[in-house]
Amino acid sequence: MADDRIPFQELEAKWQSRWREAGLFKTPDAPREGKKFYCLDMFPYPSADGLHVGHPEGYTATDILCRYKRMNGFDVLHPMGWDAFGLPAENFAIATGTHPRIVTQRNIANFRRQIQSLGFSYDWDREVDTTDPEYYKWTQWIFLQLYKKGLAYESTIPINWCPSCKTGLANEEVFGGSCERCGTGVERRDMRQWILRITAYAQRLLDDLGTLDWPESTLAMQRHWIGRSEGAEVDFAIGDHKVTVFTTRPDTLYGATYLVLAPEHPLVDAITATEFKGGVLRYIENAKHKTDLERTEIQKEKTGVPTGALAVNPLNGRKIPVWIADYVLASYGTGAIMAVPAHDERDFEFARKHELPMRTVVEPPAQVLAEDPKLLKEKAFTGDGMSVNSEVINGLKTPEAKVRILEHLEKSGIGRRKVTFRLRDWVFSRQRYWGEPIPVVHCKDCGIVPVPEDKLPILLPDVRNYKPTGTGESPLADVHSWVNTHCFKCHGPARRETNTMPQWAGSCWYYLRYLDPKNAERAFDAGLEKTWMPVDCYVGGAEHAVLHLLYARFWHKVLFDLGQVTTQEPFQKLRHQGMILSFSYRDPRGVYHGYGDVEHGQDGKARLTGTGEELDVQVEKMSKSKKNVVNPDEILGKHGADVFRLYEMFMGPFDDSKPWDMKDIMGRVRFLRRVWHTFGDPAKLADGEGHVALRHRTVKKVGDDIANFHFNTAISALDIYLNACAEDKAPARADAEAFLTLLNPFAPHITEELWERLGKEGFLSARDWPVYDPERLKESHVEVVVQVNGRVRGKLSAAAGSSQDALKAAALALPKVQEEAAGRAPAKVIVIPDKLVNVVYK
């Protein structure tokens, strides 16, 4: 039933309309010196399901922060838009028979309605949509700059292929061997792809992480994904051929007892002996069906087959067998490794399984060996020690041995220092319809020819059939009237590129388009970029750590090198919201039931309404299949936007995962009712100073907590302040004004209304934030609890900071304490200044 104690629907409509008419949240053309605040949410993908209560968590936080910043005199840029290309809209369109463009626009309209209903202070004049040709014209323009700079290239390579989505996937889109979007197991296929050379920026992407105010967990994920390794490349001879390996432990080179090539290594066919070819070919075929992640999984059983070839260790001339194994990837390092089973766990397992020799070349320290006698017998020693059985470096400790062997390799011409990265180039193209067309054509005579910039955008054609072909070609390949065109060099016949860009393309630069969203001549104005960038605070999910956040940093650095932007990094400060979970209810038959079908008994157990059947309750991620998705429309219809906003921020620490509980939301309902009744009648307010010290402490606490994303404790401080005011017979007008101002960023509708009822002119949202006086943070008098033998016997009012002797004397003088004493002297008196006196009698 709707909450009729506060006319929240009326207030929301009234104040949202007034804010909009006044242009209250419109961004200034240029920020004043030192007053810039660019605050950005990761813009949403507008799905057909609409928002659930997890989406607005970050939006609510940034709205509170932006309102607080405006009240502190900052010029705020706070935009919203839509990341609308990609597989979900296309798959939904295929399932329903509705064109992706229609689906997308309908979804955007619903998302916009839901977001606006929450009263967020976005500048809607800056709204962007990645599927708008006026937007993706500039996405295509940036691709052309990448191509001209040699950072976009075409190649036929083995890629991750999702048989359900029927498209290629980047490594970053594969989790646990499955498609990040649909969960289907991923296959490997050789396919023509467009690839972005992100590896050219690997070192800069790594180095500049140190300049960012980001969560350490996200920085660590990017460092690991980029994966810098220092070591050496060493050349091994295999007959007339040469194979180069990379190793981070060149000091163990004397311990190499076999060589391993990736199944895709170009020399495999040439070096494999005739009698081994059958087994090698079968192994190669089997490896094609595994993803890189499956092949390199640490717990995976190590498989491989011999080639019959022998390699020569360049240091000692020993001949060692050459194998192929799928745990070695052609795309990482050189596609070949030297195996040192005595000092590498993976090599140790492989050697023991295939009965290959081991040779100890690093002796563990005596203490390490004493603590773990199994070393070099049942497991490899991978730590630092002293080199043995290694002619050039015998007797040297590992750090010195590495330096000496590198010098020897380079002097001998058989190796060289090398830095490698785990990061792979970005597989960029997708074999689907709903994405940005790639702006190049293929000419029989001229090859790949970029589309001239003045011909952009290359529009996505309207088609009836947008189902994926599954053949490796996009559905666009069948749109002959669109595909067949002319070459921009020789003017002969040519074909348009039919692969499209991935969903990540539009989100790689959208933060720049917000600066100047209606510019038809440029992606963004250079002057606006210089004044507004970088983004001061970016808020979104941690799941994007090695996807959007890495890709956007890459594009930004390219734009910096091209002179298009003036900052090295796009997002100076990053914060992640925790996931909002939900209760799921499952009966003994495994059937899930929605919250509306559940009743909670006095014993705390959940039962199915009507039957009383006890249900299993779990806290889980929201899922339609588990019927535990909470739609914000439902909450707004019952309790209003201000309650919703307060509850989202009060649930727990911002970056923690926490469960949405329909029962707990009533606490925020009662809080706002109390605000309404305490401050709703100006005639009941009194003049006077009010709770001076508490007011100043609350101003400081709430301001500090908003700035540090501690929204739940800020609300707790407001609870305390409200309790004090509500207990007054006539709350002070000074307290009412301060309280409503502090609450306004959290609950803007009700506070604007009460502000107006106080007779105040203008918007409360435009008022200055209160200033606290450090000298007035302490109370002049405090209430001290008095105990006798640990039991409360009274309270006394004392001057703040009173001495222990003064508090002791005052406590002993209390009548109830004297009654307990019965003429006895206390055994001891425990005093906690400003808080407690405990008188102990034997």
| φ, ψ at 431 (rounded to 5°) | -95, 50
What residues form DSSP beta bridges with 448? 442
- pLDDT category, 623, cuts 50, 70, 90? confident
Q: How many angstroms separate the CA atoms of 722 and 679, rounded?
A: 10
pLDDT, tens only, 68-127: 999 999 999 999 999 999 888 888 888 888 999 999 999 999 999 999 999 999 999 999
H/E run at residue 686: none
Distance from CA of residue 152 to its chain's centroid?
26
pLDDT, tens only, 143-194: 999 999 999 999 988 778 888 888 777 776 777 778 877 888 888 788 889 9
Is 432 in a helix, a strand, or coil? coil
- pLDDT category, 1, cuts 50, 70, 90? very low
Closest CA to 694 of 772, 639, 636, 750: 772
What residues form DSSP beta bridges with 189? 159
Average pLDDT value over all residues in the chain: 93
The answer for residues whose C-beta is within 8 angstroms of residue 754's C-beta and 6 or more apart is 675, 676, 679, 680, 736, 740
**Residue 184 per-residue DSSP state:** P
Closest CA to 713 of 705, 722, 721: 705
**Residue 699: pLDDT above 60?**
yes
If 0-12 CB within 10 Å is exposed, 13-18 middle and 19+ buried, where does residue 4 land? exposed
- pLDDT category, 298, cuts 50, 70, 90? low
What's this model's pTM, rounded to 2 decimal places? 0.88
Average pLDDT over residues 515-534: 97
Structure tokens at 414: 């058989």
pLDDT, tens only, 299-354: 678 899 999 999 999 999 999 999 999 989 887 778 999 999 999 999 999 999 99
Give me the pLDDT at residue 130, please. Answer: 98
Sign of the torsion formed by the C-alpha atoms of 757, 762, 764 and 765: positive
Average pLDDT over residues 601-623: 86
Cβ atoms of 800 and 780 closer than 8 Å: yes
Q: Helices (H), strands (E): how many in the chain?
A: 27, 35
If 0-12 CB within 10 Å is exposed, 13-18 middle and 19+ buried, where does residue 5 land? exposed
Give me the pLDDT at residue 299, please. Answer: 66
DSSP 283-312: HHHHHTTS-HHHHH-TTS----EEEEEEEE
Structure tokens at 174: 């594969």
Give residue 612's region: left, alpha or beta (phi > 0; psi -120 to 50): left
Q: How many angstroms separate the CA atoms of 139 and 275, rounded?
A: 54
**Residue 406: pLDDT above 60?**
yes
Cis peptide leading into residue 502 (ω within 30°): no
Give me the pLDDT at residue 505, please. Answer: 97
Structure tokens at 839: 């008188």
Quote the crossing angle between the two packed helices 711-727 and 692-707, to the nearest 10°.
Answer: 160
pLDDT, tens only, 335-345: 999 999 999 99
- pLDDT category, 3, cuts 50, 70, 90? very low
* pLDDT above 70 as % of the chain: 99
- pLDDT category, 802, cuts 50, 70, 90? confident
The length of the chain in residues reads 842
**Residue 425: pLDDT above 60?**
yes
Q: Which residue is listed with tokens 């889109």?
A: 173
pLDDT, tens only, 706-738: 999 999 999 999 999 999 999 999 999 999 999
Q: How many angstroms separate the CA atoms of 507 and 410, rounded?
A: 45
**Residue 509 per-residue DSSP state:** S
